[in-house]
Structure 1
Amino acid sequence: MQFSLFDEENGRREKACVQLPLLEADVKYYPNALSSSDANRCYEALKTELPWRQDAIRLFGKSVNIPRLQSWHGDPHCTYTYSNLTMAPNPWSKTLSELRKTCEQITGTEFNSVLANWYRDGQDSMSLHADDEPELGINPTIASLTLGEARPFVLRHKETKARFTQVLEHGSVLIMAGTTQSHYVHGIAKTAKPIGGRINLTFRHLISPAG
C-alpha cells in the first residue's frame, strides 16, 4: 500500500511511503526521504566525518572481524552492547544531527543514538539478527537510512521462516516499529557483483540507566 503524509500545519505533501506486507510487524519504507543532491552530499560527508573502525566479535571462541566498518554515536549516556561488543558513544557530527532530524520528523520519535555501518563493497554484509537488546526497550522504533549503493534488505519471520526482501535505495528511510523486532530478524547478504559502497544509519532510542 502506498500513500503520502499531509502536513496540515504547513500545507504541503510529504514523502511517499510504502507499508510492507508483513504479518506481526510494522515496517514502512520511504524511497525518497532525501533528495538526490542531499543524499549525495551526506554520503560524501560521512565517509570523512566519522571515526570509522572495524570491530571484532567472538564467535565459537574465536575473534572474528565484522565484515564492514562501523561508528557508534549518541548522547553521553548511550553506551551500547551487542554480540558482547560494548561501544561508548562518539559525539554527534553535523551531518548525523541533520539526518537525525529528518528521521524524527518522519517517525514522530526522538532518537538519542545511531549506529553507522559502511559496507565498502559487495563482500561487506550484516548477518540476520533482531535489534532486541534490553537497552532498546520493548517494541522499539528504529529508522534505517541508506546512502550510496542500493542493497537488498531481507526480513525473515522467526517462526514461519517466511522471507521478504526490500531493496533499500540511495536516500531512502526504512522504519521498523511495533512488534517487528519480536517476530523478525533482518540483514544484508553478501554479493559477488561488483558494486559500490553503502553507508547505513540506524537511529535508535536507548533507555537511560535511570529508566
Structure 2
Amino acid sequence: MDVFNQRDLFSTDEVRKTEFDFPGADIFLFENFCSNEESDRLYTSLLNNTNREQDQLLIYDKEIDLSRLTAWHGDTDADESYAHTKSKVLPWTEGLLFIKKRIEQKVDVKFILCLLNYYRDGEDSVNWHRDYTGEKWKNTVIGSVTFGATRSFQLKHATRKDLKRVDIPLAHGSLLIMQGATQEN
C-alpha cells in the first residue's frame, strides 16, 4: 500500500460502515465504497462522458439557476420530475451501470433512476430540501456516491427544532444511503 495515495495518514482501503443515530432517519455511510483507483477512473469517465445541464427552479414566478449542473440517467421509461423540473432521462452509461450494480449488491435495492449532480467548486450547493415528497415517494431509498473533493452533507429534521444538524463528510468513493422515513422527516 502506497501511503502517499491514501486518503489520509490513517485511512485504509477497507470499506467502513457508519450508522447515524438521527431520529426519523435511517442513514448510513460506506467509506471507501470504491477504491481510490476506481473513484479516480469513474470520476474522470463521468466528467468526460456526461452531458450536464443547468437546471432552473421556479421561485415566485421567476426562474433561477440551480447552483450545480445535473443529468438524469436510468431506465428510459422512468421519466420522473425532480425539483419542479422535467428532464429527459438518458440511458445508463457503462460507468453508471457499474456503480448501480455495486450499490444494488450492497443494499439489495433495485434503482431505476440516477441524478448526477456536478458541484463545480466550493460555491456550488443546494439549499435545504427533501429529494422526494408525497405518498408515492414514501420510504424511498436514495444511494449517493461521491467522487472528487470531500463535501459536507447536512441533514436537519423538518419539524423537530430540538435536534441538532448532522454534518456528514462525503469523501471520494463514499456511498451514503438514505432510506425509511428520512425523506419524510
TM-score by length of 1: 0.77
Gaps of 5+ in 1: 1-13, 184-211
Q: What is the CA–CA distance in structure 2 between the aligned matches of 1:32 and 1:136, rounded to whole Å? A: 32
Cα shift readout 1:134-155 (whole Å, capped 9, x = no counterpart): 5963201110100001011000
Name the Cα RMSD after superposition.
Answer: 1.5
| Alignment-derived partner of residue 131 in structure 1 | 131
Residue 72 (1) aligns with residue 66 (2): no
Residues 1-211 of structure 1: pairs in structure 2 closer than 5 A:
15-134=15-134, 137-161=137-161, 162=163, 163-183=165-185
Q: Contact conserved, 2:133 with 2:184, CA < 8 A, in 1?
A: no
Q: What is the CA–CA distance in structure 2 between the aligned matches of 1:106 and 1:128, rounded to whole Å? A: 28
Q: 1:59 Cα deviation (Å)?
A: 1.0
Q: 1:76 Cα deviation (Å)?
A: 1.7
Q: What is the CA–CA distance in structure 2 between the aligned matches of 1:27 and 1:56, rounded to whole Å? A: 28
Q: What is the CA–CA distance in structure 2 between the aligned matches of 1:97 and 1:35, rounded to whole Å? A: 17
Q: Give aligned-pair identity as a percent.
A: 34
Q: What is the CA–CA distance in structure 1 between the aligned matches of 2:88 and 2:147, rounded to whole Å? A: 24
Q: What is the CA–CA distance in structure 1 between the aligned matches of 2:77 and 2:135, rounded to whole Å? A: 11
Of 51-60 and 145-154, more deviation after overlay is shown by: 51-60
Q: 1:171 Cα deviation (Å)?
A: 0.1
Cα shift readout 1:62-116 (whole Å, capped 9, x = no counterpart): 1101111100011121112123211220011110110001111111100011000
Q: Contact conserved, 1:80 with 1:135, CA < 8 A, in 2?
A: no
Q: Contact conserved, 1:78 with 1:88, CA < 8 A, in 2?
A: no
Gaps of 5+ in 2: 1-13
Cα shift readout 1:170-191 (whole Å, capped 9, x = no counterpart): 00000001111111xxxxxxxx
Q: Contact conserved, 2:133 with 2:183, CA < 8 A, in 1?
A: no
Of 75-84 and 93-102, more deviation after overlay is shown by: 75-84
| Alignment-derived partner of residue 187 in structure 1 | none
